[in-house]
């Protein structure tokens, strides 16, 4: 009881401390937004068809520009694509921060746990076997697939009878690898039934890219993010308490199961909706929370928004690199992120081993 009270006071104190440090948070968030803005401008400016920043501005403001193509290139191709990349990155960054907090596992992320593969399988199932269904249902199907996978993950990785206290971080990732293998196989299986989905399109689903996304996709993401991202802040403080351990959290009167279920649904919903637009975008959900933690520390009410903005920035940057490294070839953003993300993941593994 004494210990509980003590910890309770710690959490309250750190909440007060965090209030003191809040200006640092704003500084970080501001810098991230600024960096994102710069990347945004570059995204509209550069490409196979470069448009000078001034012309971009004029086009955005619907002023007269010399070239009639500008409007199409900026408003219909680059702007929605940049917005989609930003939104997808934000959703994944927030989702990754929640999943890492929830599993207390620094190696976890929506893609590494198989949740993204599950969402993809769900969306593809809907797409292939119920072709008449309205597009609004697609994110719901992805959500369902993600939740189903999370349930399997819970079943296999935690409810382990043979070894006590077995929520080993590495086991979780291994089970995720196994689940991803089965689910990707299922996705490929489903895709063989659909004729309109050629190999190229199937690859997009499996590698992650914002290529050829448009305003439709912005509209599809919008409601989920507008509802989902603010809700993450609601769960942030509970996540802090959860990280003190189940017993402590329960002692502090936290309804463990409700809180966990709420956070899990939120994380899966955010990751799931990105899959319907951009496929399985790996490693954003892993990297963003780690970078964010370096900047603002471990308190989730600061970590989650920072991680979201970081994810958005990273994904726009990755897409910019993939688009401009060797035009006219476009490297999917997911590939760019993986090439950077895997060494980062291995670094985390190494650091964990050293500790």
Partner 1 sequence: MTNIVQTLNRLKPKTLHFLQIGAFPLTIAVLGLAVVVSITFGAVDIHPATVVDSIFAFDADNTQHLIIQTLRLPRALTAMLTGAALGVAGAIMQGLTRNPLADPGLLGIQAGAVLAVVSGVYLFHIDTLPVYALFAFMGGALTALAVYALGSLGRSGATPFKLSIAGAAITSFLSSLTTAILMFNQRSLEEVRFWLAGSVAGREMSLVLQAAPFLVGGLILALALGRQITTLSLGEDVARGLGQNVGRLKFLAAASIVLLAGSAVALAGPIGFVGLIIPHVVRMFVGVDYRWVLPYSAILGATFLILSDLAGRILVRPLEMPVGIMTAALGGPMFIYLARRKVK
Residue 342 contacts partner 1 per CB under 8 A: yes
Stretch of 75-83, 128-136, 177-185, 231-239 lying at the interface with partner 1 (CB under 8 A): 177-185
The 8-class DSSP code of residue 168 comes to -
Block residue for tokens 């688009």: 323
Q: Which residues, in sequence order, are CB contacts of 213 under 8 Å at separation 6+?
A: 80, 81, 84, 277, 278
Please give the structure tokens belonging to residue 207: 């590698």
Question: Scanning residues 277 to 296, which ones bind partner 1 (CB under 8 A)?
Answer: 282
Rounded to 10 degrees, the C-alpha dihedral 282/283/286/288 comes to -110
How many residues bind partner 1 (CB under 8 A)? The answer is 47
Nearest to 127 by CA among 194, 60, 225: 194
Please give the structure tokens belonging to residue 33: 């937004």
- Could you please report the per-residue DSSP string of 326-340? STT----HHHHHHHH
Residue 129 contacts partner 1 per CB under 8 A: no
Residue 182 contacts partner 1 per CB under 8 A: yes
Q: Which residues, in sequence order, are CB contacts of 217 under 8 Å at separation 6+?
A: 80, 84, 277, 278
Contact pattern for partner 1 over residues 224 through 263, marking x by CB under 8 A: ----------------------------------------
Stretch of 123-131, 242-250, 291-299, 333-341 lying at the interface with partner 1 (CB under 8 A): 333-341
Nearest to 296 by CA among 25, 22, 106: 25
What is the C-alpha R_g of the chain? 21
Contact pick of 2, 20, 63, 354 for partner 1 (by CB under 8 A): 354
Task: Considering the complex, state which of residue 172 and residue 316 has its C-beta at the smaller distance from partner 1.
Answer: 172
Contact pick of 106, 178, 214, 251 for partner 1 (by CB under 8 A): 178
Task: Considering the complex, state which of residue 193 and residue 222 has its C-beta at the smaller distance from partner 1.
Answer: 193
Which residues are at the interface with partner 1 (CB under 8 A)? 107, 156-157, 160, 162-163, 168, 170-171, 173-175, 177-186, 188-189, 192-193, 199, 203, 207, 282, 326, 329-332, 334-335, 338-339, 342-343, 345-346, 349-350, 353-354
């Amino acid at each position: 009881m004494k210990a509980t009270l003590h910890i309770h006071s710690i959490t309250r104190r750190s909440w007060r401390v965090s209030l003191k440090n809040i200006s640092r948070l704003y500084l970080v968030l501001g810098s991230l937004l600024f960096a994102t803005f710069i990347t945004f401008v570059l995204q509209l400016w550069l490409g196979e068809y470069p448009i000078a920043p001034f012309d971009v501005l004029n086009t955005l403001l619907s002023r007269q520009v010399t070239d009639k193509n500008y409007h199409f290139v900026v408003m219909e191709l680059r702007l929605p694509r940049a917005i989609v990349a930003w939104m997808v990155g934000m959703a994944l960054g927030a989702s990754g921060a929640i999943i890492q907090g929830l599993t207390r596992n620094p190696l976890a992320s929506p893609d590494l746990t198989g949740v993204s593969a599950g969402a993809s399988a769900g969306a593809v199932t809907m797409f292939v076997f119920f072709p008449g269904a309205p597009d609004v249902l697609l994110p719901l199907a992805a959500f369902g697939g993600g939740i189903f996978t999370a349930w399997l993950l819970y079943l296999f990785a935690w409810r382990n009878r043979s070894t006590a206290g077995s929520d080993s971080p590495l086991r979780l990732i291994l089970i995720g690898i196994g689940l991803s293998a089965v689910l990707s196989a299922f996705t490929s299986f489903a895709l063989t039934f659909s004729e309109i989905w050629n190999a190229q399109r199937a690859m997009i689903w499996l590698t992650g890219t914002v290529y050829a996304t448009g305003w439709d996709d912005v509209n599809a993401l919008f409601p989920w993010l507008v509802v989902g991202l603010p809700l993450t802040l609601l769960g942030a403080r509970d996540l802090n308490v959860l990280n003190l351990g189940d017993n402590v959290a329960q002692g502090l009167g936290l309804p463990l199961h409700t809180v966990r279920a709420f956070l899990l649904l939120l994380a899966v919903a955010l990751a799931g909706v990105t899959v319907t637009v951009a496929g399985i975008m790996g490693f954003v959900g892993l990297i963003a929370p780690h970078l964010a933690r370096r900047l603002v520390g471990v308190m989730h009410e600061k970590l989650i928004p920072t991680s979201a903005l970081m994810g958005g920035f990273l994904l726009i940057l990755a897409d910019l690199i993939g688009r401009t490294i060797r035009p006219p070839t476009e490297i999917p953003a997911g590939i760019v992120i993986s090439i950077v993300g895997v060494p980062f993941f291995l670094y985390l593994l190494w650091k964990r081993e050293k500790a």
